[in-house]
Amino acid sequence: MDYMTLKETAEKWGVAPRRVNYYCAGERVPGAVKMAGVWLIPREAQKPLDKRYKGNKK
């Protein structure tokens, strides 16, 4: 399985790296793994819906 870092994922999803960190820490990204203090996110992972808003529009 191929992984991305927080920064790469943030650029791909169009959000701040801190937001990706929240997603990973909240177990909202399937397959995300923390190794040696660094989150690794699978390349095929989809951006979770933002729970701050109702009716997330795509």
What pLDDT tens digit does each residue of the chain (58 aa) get?
799 999 999 999 999 999 999 999 999 999 999 999 999 999 999 999 877 777 666 5
Asked if the structure places residue 48 within a domain, the reply is no
Asked if the structure places residue 16 within a domain, the reply is yes
Q: What pLDDT does 54 receive? A: 76
Cβ partners under 8 Å of residue 28, min gap 6: 48
Rounded Cα gap, residues 57 and 18, in angstroms: 22
Instruction: Print the domain residue range for 10.
Output: 3-42
Q: What pLDDT does 29 receive? A: 96
Asked if the structure places residue 51 within a domain, the reply is no
Rounded Cα gap, residues 21 and 24, in angstroms: 5
Asked if the structure places residue 30 within a domain, the reply is yes
Single-letter residue type at 9: T
Domains held by the chain: number: 1
Asked if the structure places residue 24 within a domain, the reply is yes
Q: What pLDDT does 57 receive? A: 62
Q: What pLDDT does 50 receive? A: 75
Q: What pLDDT does 58 receive? A: 58
